[in-house]
Structure 1
Amino acid sequence: MELDGKVAVVTGGTRGIGRRIVERYLEEGASVVFSGRDEAKGAQALKELEAGDRAAFVQGDVTRRQDAERMVDAGVERYGRLDVLVNNAGGMPGFAVVGETDDALWHDTLAVNLHAVFYATRRALAHLVPQGSGRIITLSSIEGKQADPGLGAYATAKHAVIGLMRAVAREVGPLGVTANCICPGIVLTDMIRDQGPLAARTLGVTYDQLLGVFTGKAATGRATTVDEVAAVAVLLAAEAGAGITGAALPVDGGATCS
């Protein structure tokens, strides 16, 4: 097993990409603390995971520094160490072209997609650097490599976390810690199904047309799957990924290959 004996913290791990990463890490032998805003969803996820003492849920809001730090510390408090932080929590609080983006949308988008990553990463480094090893993995997006209309705030945040991880990689690489981003293409998670129709209306197209825009860019001609993203998260957390740092790895079916 690739992660036998490792301890990981995964933010936003109750559903979607985060949930699949939690599942894969458990399958590979890790103990995992995962977080979410909804206590009931966390309890349900724990029940479905059937991982016993190797899984734990922490309720909190990653946009609050105290909560983000508590989530990271929970791995150490429960299992005695921290080896991997996955900054998965994120989202799109709304959609608007830049000229019509209000202050609330701008700040809310950066809070959940950028500030939360900074809070958790800074706290994780306090544990990883002294032990001389560790992995920090942040979910960016295809929007971290391009920018589509109506997603200006989101694209800004996803570009920014790539810069943050590259800075971390340079600073702590000699100390045994790696820092990378995964940049998925469109993944048909609950979030996309819930928010996709609103995004489509913002752009004046149907939901199916919007999906077609993204899948049409992919060389594979289809959406990315949660399994494909989670597989890369396993690689980056494992010894096999020790030589990868400062990277922004696309898992987008070739949508950004040009």
Structure 2
Amino acid sequence: MTKLLSNKTAIVTGGSNGYGYGIAKKLKEAGANVWITGRSIEKLKTAASELNINYKRADVTSPEDWDELVKAIIEKHGQLDILINNAGGGIAIADITAQSDLDIKSSVELNLLGAIYGSKRAADLMVKQKSGTIINISSICSTQAWPGFSIYAAAKAGLEQFSRSLYVDLRPHSVRAMCITPSWGNTSFNEATGLQGFDEEVAKKAIQPDDMGKVVVDACLLPDHLIIPELTIMPMVQEIIPY
């Protein structure tokens, strides 16, 4: 791959596995200085070693962790060009009556507030640079409804609306805000949420981490005067039957 992002510095949250790993991998192949974050230092070390990239343990729900992350990147590279808000999780996939208040709070913090905290800090730098790209990774759950996904879906729907508003706020400053909404992916999310009917053959035809990486890189490589505000990605194998 041509190193078209060789002068860019990127953050990928939740970058030690799944979509985040694939995104970090493809950004690195495109030449970017890539930093991955996550809560597990051991997973981060392993992924960073495999991909030959930077890592820093950081919880996206912690504003203080965001401040420390951005400070470390600016001290080393002097700029931040790409932020991929990928970190997320189901927390508790269950009927609303079976979820604790802590489950609800944790899901909203991880799937929505974390991206808002990161976008605020990245936007502050990018507006001054008059350049930059923020990509929020949503979920098809934001537009569909399945049993047990109410809180996760609500948080992701909030992320999509936040992305639209962020686009409006940042466009005058030549900073791009996009939202990519994937559906079935071959990641650990399926096992963690107990997704039914997702066998090995289906997994092969679902969205792969490298697929997401290619999509993100292509979005980052758009001419500076162009943007794809919203993009939904579906595997052909999936039939949407909500409710």
Relative to the length of structure 1, the TM-score reads: 0.84
Q: Which of 158, 169, 172 is the matching residue for 2:170?
A: 172
Alignment map for 1:1-258 (pairs within 5 Å): 1-49=3-51, 51=52, 55-193=53-191, 195-197=192-194, 207=196, 209=197, 211=198, 222-240=205-223, 242-247=225-230, 249-253=231-235
Which of 235-244 and 7-16 deviates more? 235-244
**Structure 2 runs not aligned, ≥5 long:** none
Deviation at 1:225, TM superposition (A): 1.5
Aligned-residue Cα RMSD (Å) equals 2.2
1:190 and 1:257, CA in 2 relative to 1: closer, same or farther beyond 3 A?
closer
**Structure 1 runs not aligned, ≥5 long:** 201-206, 216-220
Deviation at 1:237, TM superposition (A): 1.4
Per-residue deviation, residues 123-182 of structure 1 (Å, max 9, x unmatched): 001100011000000110111221211100000011111111110100110111111111
Give % identity.
31
Check conservation: 2:90, 2:193, Cα contact below 8 A: no
Corresponding letter in the other structure for 2:226: G
Per-residue deviation, residues 6-46 of structure 1 (Å, max 9, x unmatched): 11011111111101111101100110111111112221122
Structure having the larger proportion of residues in helix: 1
Instruction: Give every structure 1 segment of 4 or more consecutive aligned residues whose post-TM-superposition deviation is greater than 4 Å.
Output: 254-258
Relative to the length of structure 2, the TM-score reads: 0.89
